[in-house]
Chains A and B, each alone.
Chain A
């Protein structure tokens, strides 16, 4: 019998992630015995809140699910309801929705790259400590984030929990001149994103690759935001209306968030790496070239390089925002009419952290009978645990403090959005 010591590593509160989660790793010698990503933030019951509300209220309610990605929730909601009610949107409204999503991707990715993930690679406990030594870099990150905030504030009426999104379009469409006011800052942001990509590509990355099933939207003509089929690198190719036939959610005792799996298969990855690997050919030339210059290969299977992929998506989002502003003509009406009828609609859009699925059942008065929301973090949760199973064995001989640091970094590869804030970390190490 082996007499190898057992070590238990517990991170009671994960820091620099959105929400309240903990990490538990059990080692016997160098062998991983157990890994659990525990999401203990209480269930928030948004699907239940929505029942009985009119479909027109849904965009404002679901925006409250997240302070970082409210637009994603609004976009999946309105697209699902529009599909239920057979509402078509104006081409210029479609463009505006892409611009809106650009704003959210820019602010979310800039926050994660600079403030949440970069300190891991540079050996700082947080962005404040990093800012003391890298003031210009942090300044650049903050200005990039602000460029995204400006788009969101203009399009949404305010920076957090925007209020302009409506089923059928927007309550108010911006003027051409209002959008043109963003151009100079977005040109700067595009250059800054390219600089960001160069900077993060020079960080040190652990030698770690996994054989993932990547899942994202894919659209025939563009890098995906709001439309496309749900595809994977292992042959999945389906419409959002068939999502629940292909994916299922499982309850696990240690987490308040359900684990998503592909039916008949297993875990999968959504998010920037999945989008990048499945849609590289749809990136504009400037982003493709930046990826090549950064040494990114398709497929990229090292999750620690997701920080570089996010930087490439920053390049894309700034470039796309400038394209939309160039092409934009205000719509004849900001929103198309939507008439209530008993119906069901599903949609998936690409939140900064990955695929976000919504399904609504409406009654004949337009009231919500049932709602289902599957956020990206729920879909990635099982995959994060599997990464840790394999990654911890690579670092198992290191001191506990280093294992903890590396494990947290591995979790942050996914930019998990559990919701709201965490502030401290406690580590318990038990040895036999």
Chain B
């Protein structure tokens, strides 16, 4: 089973870097834990721009996407959506370039039957998004946890051992 993991964001806009922090941590974990690249796993960084994002998951059956989510008073809180079955809330991913972002990519792809077979979205709630700001400690901590959680899913779904058959990534 091929799995593509996409981290969205911008390192120059504070907590908007959340998705990028996760995929960079994830790359390190893959090497630390397994000592090699995992066949069938692709880890990518993306700005979050709708049309590039749609291209990014084209050809992938299974996708996990990580992005910063809008502040609502609990920075670092992690929410997960199964975007294959459920629509995304309107104001969760408002940080995007030129009116189109992650939600628009998902909903436009859904309208056009271009969603991957499975699409899991992790949103990490941000606190500060101004130019030049560093990621907040809350988001940095959450990024480490999300990377570890995704690593467990990756291990379960892609790394087979005699004792453990591969699991569905939503399992």
Decide yes or no whether A341 CB sits under 8 A from chain B.
no
CB distance from B52 to the nearest CB of A (A): 7
In the complex, the chain B residue whose C-beta lies closest to that of A417 is: B98
B97 touches which one: A17, A67, A129, A139 (CB < 8 A)? A67
Give chain A residues whose Cβ lies under 8 Å from the Cβ of B51: 142, 145-146, 149
Give chain A residues whose Cβ lies under 8 Å from the Cβ of B95: 421
Proximity string of chain A (106-125) to chain B, C-beta cutoff 8 Å, 1 when within and 0 when not: 00000100011000000000
CB distance from B27 to the nearest CB of A (A): 21
CB distance from A278 to the nearest CB of B (A): 28
- Chain A interface residue count, CB cutoff 8 Å, equals 28
Q: A116-B99, A420-B98, A422-B99 are in contact. Are A128 and B104 (CB under 8 A)?
A: yes
- The answer to whether B94 touches A160, judged by C-beta atoms less than 8 angstroms apart, is no
B94 touches which one: A17, A127, A149, A423 (CB < 8 A)? A423
A421 touches which one: B54, B55, B99, B113 (CB < 8 A)? B99
Roughly how many angstroms separate A422 CA and B91 CA in the complex, as a whole number?
Answer: 11
- The answer to whether A424 touches B90, judged by C-beta atoms less than 8 angstroms apart, is yes
User: Which residues of B, 19-73, contact A by the 8 Å Cβ criterion?
Assistant: 47, 49, 51-52, 54-55
Roughly how many angstroms separate A17 CA and B99 CA in the complex, as a whole number?
Answer: 7
- The answer to whether B91 touches A423, judged by C-beta atoms less than 8 angstroms apart, is yes
CB distance from A221 to the nearest CB of B (A): 34
- The answer to whether A68 touches B111, judged by C-beta atoms less than 8 angstroms apart, is no
Roughly how many angstroms separate A67 CA and B97 CA in the complex, as a whole number?
Answer: 7
B interface secondary structure, majority: loop
Give chain B residues whose Cβ lies under 8 Å from the Cβ of A16: 99
- The answer to whether A160 touches B47, judged by C-beta atoms less than 8 angstroms apart, is yes
CB distance from A91 to the nearest CB of B (A): 33
Decide yes or no whether A159 CB sits under 8 A from chain B.
yes
Roughly how many angstroms separate A159 CA and B55 CA in the complex, as a whole number?
Answer: 13
Give chain B residues whose Cβ lies under 8 Å from the Cβ of A111: 98
Proximity string of chain A (418-432) to chain B, C-beta cutoff 8 Å, 1 when within and 0 when not: 001111100000000
Roughly how many angstroms separate A109 CA and B98 CA in the complex, as a whole number?
Answer: 14
Give chain A residues whose Cβ lies under 8 Å from the Cβ of B101: 421
In the complex, the chain A residue whose C-beta lies closest to that of B114 is: A139
CB distance from B51 to the nearest CB of A (A): 6
Decide yes or no whether A260 CB sits under 8 A from chain B.
no
Give chain B residues whose Cβ lies under 8 Å from the Cβ of A385: none
- The answer to whether A160 touches B49, judged by C-beta atoms less than 8 angstroms apart, is yes
- The answer to whether B100 touches A115, judged by C-beta atoms less than 8 angstroms apart, is yes
In the complex, the chain A residue whose C-beta lies closest to that of B107 is: A128
- The answer to whether A421 touches B111, judged by C-beta atoms less than 8 angstroms apart, is no
- The answer to whether A128 touches B52, judged by C-beta atoms less than 8 angstroms apart, is no
Decide yes or no whether B151 CB sits under 8 A from chain A.
no
Across chains A and B, which 5 residue pairs bring their CB atoms closest together, nearest first?
Answer: A131-B111, A67-B97, A132-B111, A128-B107, A421-B99
